[in-house]
Amino acid sequence: MITRRTFLIATATAIPAATLLTQPAAAAQPPVYATDNIAINGYDPVAYFTEEKPVEGVADFSSEWDGATVLFASAAHKEMFDADPEKYTPKYGGYCAYAVSKGYTASTDPVAWTVHEGRLYLNYSRSVRALWTARRSSHIKSADANWPSVLEG
């Protein structure tokens, strides 16, 4: 026999569950993390390699990368990028490397960066970069396995 209490509990849990089932699927993420269509928050990806530090780019020197605009600090950096974008673009479309290793996407801070084995990795913050660095090889392996399916939402 169903009591009033059992009915109320069943109804209270069924309604939110039904609501979850009818929610639209999350929209797919774009392949490049960008703010206002500017990748890497306007920082020059080549500078991480040539100057070993983050350097802001300028609108005078820009290129397109998977639908986002990349800014450079100089014409020389733009030329280097255009000749070999794969070499300079951050892994995982500029999304947080740690987040991708855990199966989701997150924004990045251009000062939370690492160049490892010739590839640029960005993270959400310096503290997240420290977590990522502590088990870098494991995180890269997991992130490589998760990319690009994490974009599906």
- Over the stretch 38-95, which tens digit does the pLDDT of each residue have? 999 999 999 999 999 999 999 999 999 999 999 999 999 999 999 999 999 999 999 9
Residue numbers of the domain that contains 109: 34-152
Q: Is the pLDDT of residue 144 over 80?
A: yes
pLDDT at 19: 39
24's tokens: 């639209």
Residue 48 lies inside a defined structural domain of this protein: yes
Residue 17 lies inside a defined structural domain of this protein: no
Peptide bond into 31 cis (omega under 30): no
Task: Residue 101: count other Cβ atoms within 10 Å of its Cβ.
Answer: 24
Which residue from 49, 26, 71 is spatially nearest to 118, judged by alpha carbons?
49
Residue 19 lies inside a defined structural domain of this protein: no
Number of domains in the chain: 1
Residue 123 lies inside a defined structural domain of this protein: yes
Residue 104 backbone class (left: φ over 0; alpha: ψ -120 to 50; beta: rest) = beta
Give, for 118, the enclosing helix (H) or strand (E).
none
Q: Is the pLDDT of residue 7 over 50?
A: no
Helices 126-134, 136-146: crossing angle, 10 deg rounding: 100
